[in-house]
Structure 1
Amino acid sequence: MDRVIKVLFFALLVKPVVLLLLGLNIIGRDNLPKKGPAIVIANHNSHLDTLVLLSLFPLSVIHKVRPVAAADYFLGNGGLLAWIALKCIGIIPLDRSGGADREVLFSGCTRALSEGDILVLFPEGSRGKPEQMSRLKKGIYYLIKERADIPVVPAMLHGLGRALPKGEALLVPFNCDVVIGENLTERETAAGFMNSATASFQQLSEYCITLSSTESAEDKTL
């Protein structure tokens, strides 16, 4: 039943809104994993980030694409938001309180990967200022350090922080970029992997046609 709910939610609501109202410039779509286990990592400026990324997957596999999201934000008060997060989007809740050890914290992610799911992760940890990228956190490395078979695909998003900024509820039509890179193969150390991921985001940003030449150097730093 959950699979049907999610497919209908994206087929009838999300895909039409995202693909028709937003002017998406999509590069490297073929780099998205066709099946799991796999991980897509992306920068995070807006709630649209998750919906846009999931909209790029075929409806035939969308039930297997699982965004990792903050449990306190989406499930804290229960109600409609929690139902949409769990049933329509299929999030894997992550406890951000800091009270759980690493194995418990990532147990939902580990289980999903073992079941062949495709995870969507935002390694910055939370939404930052529109079109500015924060330092990446190391948590993802502990999911894949012993799993060289799991591809990790970076996706650079630009413009979504303006289309639906943090704290706003009104969608503003805006041209946005989605640039998807190739699998990150550097896995030997956490530092090596994080440096590789950061460099990949920087390279992908160069393909963002909405990235204005008038933006400051700080805004372009990835």
Structure 2
Amino acid sequence: MRNLLFSILVRPAVLFVLGLNIRHRERLPEKGPCVIIANHNSHLDTLVLMSLFHGKSFSKVRPVAAGDYFMKNKFLAFFSTKVMNIIPIERRMTKDFQGMFQPILQSLDEDGIIILFPEGSRGEAEQLSKYKSGVYYLMRERPDIDVIPVFLHGLGKALPKGSFIFVPFFVDIFIGAPFKFTSDRKTFMDTLNSRMDALQKEGGFREW
């Protein structure tokens, strides 16, 4: 049912309105468990990333999203849980990382393909923000799972933060090579930053 709803409601709209140029599609995982790390400029980010998956792989895709936002009314909660199949988490300070991440870890143990935005909230259009270290503590619990960086360009103009107008725009998607967790936090975060920076530079985009 979820696959059908997404195929009827979301994927056609995304593919019809937006032009997607996918670089290194062969790096897109066909199965889990894995964690996809992406930059976050628009509410369309998640829908576009989900649209890249089909069939059995799509059934394993679960975006991590802010529960306080996506569960705030019945319609949004229905769409978020029944169509997007989000993993809602609370955006609050805590030292109980294992407890907070338990739903994500359970999904990974069930071969889930997790979509995660370590910048947290949506940033300025086409600008990379500082990544929060929560992703380090998540991957520390499952150090053998692949981390796949993905850089999205264009969605910050198609539906920027604070806007409700969907503007047709050409979108570039750069899929990076997978890498693994390293126990030193600075090394891991530096690796993530350098991988995302490299994907951004690969496009040679001018500033907006």
Q: TM-score, normalised by structure 2?
A: 0.94
Once the two structures are superposed, the pairs formed by residues 1-222 of structure 1 within 5 Å of their partners are: 4=1, 6-75=2-71, 77-98=72-93, 101-208=96-203, 211-212=205-206, 215=207
How far apart, CA to CA, are the structure 2 residues paired with 1:100 and 1:14? 37
What is the Cα deviation at residue 186 of structure 1? 5.0
SS for the counterpart of 1:7 is: helix
What is the Cα deviation at residue 181 of structure 1? 0.3
Q: Which amino acid aligns with 2:177?
A: E
SS for the counterpart of 2:111 is: coil
How far apart, CA to CA, are the structure 1 residues paired with 2:118 and 2:100? 15
Q: Which amino acid aligns with 1:138?
A: S
Percent same amino acid among aligned pairs?
Answer: 47
What is the Cα deviation at residue 99 of structure 1? 5.2
SS for the counterpart of 1:17 is: helix
Q: TM-score, normalised by structure 1?
A: 0.89
Gaps of 5+ in 1: none
RMSD: 1.5
SS for the counterpart of 2:125 is: coil
Gaps of 5+ in 2: none
Task: Report Cα offsets for 1:155-196 as digits up to 9, x if no partner.
Answer: 000110100011111110011110000112351311111100
Runs of 4+ in 1 over 6 A off after TM superposition: none
Between the two proteins, the alignment pairs up a number of residues equal to: 208
